[in-house]
Amino acid sequence: MHGFYRVAAATPPVRVADVDFNVSGIVGLYADAAAKGAAAVVFPELAVSGYSCGDLFFQSFLHGKCMAGLKELAAATAGKNTVMIVGVPWRVDSAVFNAAAVIHEGRVRGVVFKSVLPNYREFYEKRQFRPAAEFAAGEVGFDGETVPAGAGLVFDGGNDFTFGVEICEDLWSVVPPSSHLAQSGAKVLFNLSASDELIGKAEYRRSLVAQQSGRCLAAYVLAGAGVGESTADVVYGGHSLIAVNGRLVRESGRFLRTPSLILADVDAEALIAARMGESSFNDTAAGGVAARLITLSRELSGVDVPEYAEIKPRPFVPSDTADCAARCREIFQIQSAGLARRVEHVRAKSMVIGISGGLDSTLALLVAVESCKLLGRPLSDVAAVTMPGFGTTARTGGNAEKLCRELGVPLRHIDITAACRRHFADIGHDEAEMDVTYENTQARERTQILMDLANKLGGIVIGTGDLSEIALGWSTFNGDHMAMYSVNCSVPKTLIRYVISHCAETAGAGLREVLNDIIDTPVSPELLPAGGDGMIAQKTEELIGSYELHDFFLYHFIKTGASPEKLLFLSKQAFAGRVAEAELRDKLRVFLRRFWAAQFKRNSSPDGPKVGSVSLSPRGDWRMPSDAAAFKL
């Protein structure tokens, strides 16, 4: 199952104070969630009685009905390996608590009391309820059993599925109980809510849930009370949300008049990996009420096929067009600001860039031009150099010239073929032998030219290599691997096309045309002679595999700590129907082999701006010995 668990948030129909009706609706939605493989399903605040009972919560008759209803709900879970988390008023002597009952396999396993009671505007819970801090007993009796109760309960469902529960206003407080629950080991946080609808409140609620999941490095599942709760002064919308580590992944409709159930598949292993890599998480003391661990009677079942998880083939690229445009704009701004600061700090008189007519050097040039604008410097301070060699084609060479002409950047032409042939003679290499020496000679000749030209002009060399190439070691050591500042080092290949496309949208017709052609040009180092038709003969993705696959492997290896077996599993989900399993296996082996072999290059890589959460800088992001044994599939 690779650590995936299915979680659910349910909003049943409700009639205020009609326990029998409410229990029937809860049982129906629970059965639906269980049939769909949910490990746990959460219901709204006080769902058994209805949240809006007011002073009816003082009535013993209502409490008796609720306890009878709770027994019926417990019976509905017998023989099912799905946890039910349901809201119910709980009376202890003369005090009433706003509670969440955690039910599994026919038994109430724990009762969580609400810690923070609202007492403002339309909510006056302190009139009817007492906060968890006033409950000292630590346990309650139910149906002949003693049950752990209060705050700070963490439930263990086995195999890394641990969860905690808080209730509505708890999340809105200065320090939510869920923060302490997460520090005590809870990876999934459930919230039973009865939050009314006001203008702008839904967006604030989304933000709150997403941010808390991010702060806690957890999944956060909130079930909102539905329209049946709506009374004289307030309206409830049944707004349910599921967020994972800062990102909202599922959301129900609002104001629905029918039962609602949303599900998501949560990768518990990925949450563990995130917590292991975040020192701020482990450095924060748990605080608050000491947590009590409650182990369930049976391990909860994971998910073999994550149907309710979005495993995108391009995890670096936002699916939403507007989000993608905003991401690209921000990346470009970070790159440009970083380069401008470096140029300003070292007082460089020029920015020297090798222009090939390919994706990476194009983006680097666009960044350099923008940096000049930020610094108020003339475009003549950008020293663009095209260095045609044995494999340069008319298309890429022509695009390099058009690009510089449209941008207004002066372009130098330095043909490297004669210098390379002289070097072949010096080291006794046969030019007809087109091996790694033949290829790397060209890469190092180009770097030598750029470095020496930077000395001559009092400038710095701008590196063009991207994150994907750095991961795979697809560069010549002390050749294109080296620069004084590398602007693309944190931008993966699958995203670079989108960033250039974003720049093209605001460009003039001529520049837009050449940028679009560069985007459509096959990725190639162009180190081998062109074919008889003059077309590119050496295509990178035919040699090492699709960058879409390698970027997918890179993201999940670094970001979620996925093992080789899990990388294969995830890729089979993401590329189902597109890429055969044999191809996925083969390219994953290529990724693993090249990633380990390339660490020595990364250990001596130049500075460059970090633009996303995945970066391979040896100084702040990825520290690994060059001689570590490679993981095997």
321-540: CATH class: alpha beta
**How far is the C-alpha of 215 from the C-alpha of 275, rounded, in Å?**
10
What DSSP string describes 424-440? HHHHT--TT--SHHHHH
pTM higher than the cut 0.85: yes
Contact 97, 132 (CB under 8 A): yes
pLDDT of 621 over the 80 cut: yes
**How far is the C-alpha of 114 from the C-alpha of 171, rounded, in Å?**
10
> What's residue 277's pLDDT?
85
* Helical packing angle, 359-375 and 509-520, nearest 10°: 140
**How far is the C-alpha of 40 from the C-alpha of 191, rounded, in Å?**
12
Contact 344, 377 (CB under 8 A): no
Query: By three-state DSSP, how is residue 456 classified?
Result: helix
pLDDT of 626 over the 70 cut: yes
> What's residue 286's pLDDT?
56
Q: What superfamily in CATH does domain 4-295 come from? A: Carbon-nitrogen hydrolase (3.60.110.10)
pLDDT of 537 over the 80 cut: no
Provide the CA 192 distance to its chain's centre, in angstroms.
Answer: 25
Burial of residue 594 (CB within 10 Å: 0-12, 13-18, 19+) is middle
The string of pLDDT tens digits covering residues 109-166 is: 999 999 999 987 677 899 999 999 999 999 999 999 999 999 999 999 999 999 999 9
Question: CA separation (Å) from 482 to 276, 302, 523, 601?
Answer: 32, 46, 20, 9
The least confident of 64-68, 131-135, 277-281, 532-536 is 532-536
Q: Do domains 4-295 and 321-540 have the same CATH topology?
A: no
> What's residue 289's pLDDT?
62
Q: What sign for the dihedral angle of Cα 357, 363, 366, 367?
A: negative
Catalytic residues: 45, 114, 168
Six token digits for residue 483? 């620069």
Question: CA separation (Å) from 196 to 56, 57, 140, 266?
Answer: 20, 19, 30, 27
> What's residue 526's pLDDT?
75
Residues 122, 127, 129, 133: what is their CA dihedral angle, to the nearest 10 degrees? 100
Residue 227: DSSP 8-state = G
pLDDT of 232 over the 80 cut: no
The string of pLDDT tens digits covering residues 509-533 is: 999 999 999 999 988 887 788 776 7
> What's residue 288's pLDDT?
59
The more confident residue out of 231 and 252 is 252
Count the neighbouring beta carbons within 10 Å of the beta carbon of residue 541: 15
Domain locations along the chain: 4-295, 321-540
* Helical packing angle, 581-597 and 547-559, nearest 10°: 60
> What's residue 285's pLDDT?
63
**How far is the C-alpha of 420 from the C-alpha of 418, rounded, in Å?**
5
